[in-house]
Amino acid sequence: MTHAIVLVEAEGDVMSTLGGTLAEVEGVREAYSVTGEWDFICIVHVARHEDLASVVTGRISTMQGVARTHTMVAFEAFSRHDLEAMFSIGE
């Protein structure tokens, strides 16, 4: 499984609708509207590294209203739940 974080800059006229559209893309686990330089963050999970191209360049970056994207591929995934379980001593 490959995990990636995709930052999305949107054009102003789609701000109210783009989040829902991004969340509907196959492979996008979650989409968040955020403050700062970027407008949305997509959490992408795909079966193979090669599948990122179809999700990011084939779907997300070609959507109407998407000005640009920046993709970061995760090396390892951690969560608070995983870390707590790893250090638990059987409580």
Q: What is the pTM of this model?
A: 0.84
What number is the average pLDDT over the span 14-43? Answer: 96
What number is the average pLDDT over the span 44-71? Answer: 96
Helices (H), 1-91: 18-23, 51-55, 80-87
Find the range with the poorest average confidence among 6-10, 43-47, 82-86: 82-86
As a whole number, the mean pLDDT across the chain is 90
d(Cα 87, Cα 91) in Å, to the nearest integer?
A: 10
d(Cα 60, Cα 75) in Å, to the nearest integer?
A: 22
The dihedral built from the CA positions of residue 41, 45, 50 and 53, taken in this order, carries a sign that is negative
DSSP 13: G
In Å, the largest CA–CA distance within the chain is 53
Give me the pLDDT at residue 78, please: 75
Give me the pLDDT at residue 77, please: 74
Percent of the chain with pLDDT over 90: 78
The domains of the chain, with CATH numbers, are 2-87 (3.30.70.920)
Place of tokens 């968040």: 32
